Amino acid sequence: MRVLADTNLFIKFCRRLPLPKTVEQTLANESTERCLSAVSMIELFRLWQSGNVPDNPDTWLDLALPSWTIFPVTVPIARQSVLFNWDHKDPADRLLAATAQIEGVELWHTDTTLKKLKGFPGRYFPNVSEK
């Protein structure tokens, strides 16, 4: 199984923070190909800069990344990200959805806005604290 994790799920999994049971079990399974968009690296460092991620990613990211497949932002992904017929303008969300569509992998995410949108393979999981 291949899963494209959004930035939130990636951070929580790597930092061993609470996740929905299905997400944690699937990402921990050796047969799962854990995928990530390069866009998530931008989001990760912005979250750290704003104080929403306590640990400097430079202290743990190099250890975490080898077990993940990183998708670059390609021309087809960039193109698709602007072709979605949505009012939602967040470029990171658009790039994540486009990556899922172009790479043919389900985007697992915690984004309530993306949850409402169509046109890409995705699966929404509420944050554990939201239950």
Average pLDDT over residues 102-131: 90
Question: From CA 124, how far away is CA 127, in angstroms rounded?
Answer: 10
Residue 38 DSSP one-character state: T
Question: From CA 31, how far away is CA 67, in angstroms rounded?
Answer: 12
Average pLDDT over residues 78-86: 95
Question: From CA 90, how far away is CA 78, in angstroms rounded?
Answer: 13
What pLDDT, on the 0 to 100 scale, is given for residue 131? Answer: 41
Question: From CA 80, how far away is CA 129, in angstroms rounded?
Answer: 33
pLDDT at residue 97 is higher than 50: yes
Domains and CATH numbers, the chain: 2-126 (3.40.50.1010)
Report the predicted TM-score, pTM, of the whole model to 2 decimal places: 0.92
107 neighbors 121 (Cβ within 8 angstroms): yes
Is residue 17 classed as helix, strand or coil in its secondary structure? coil
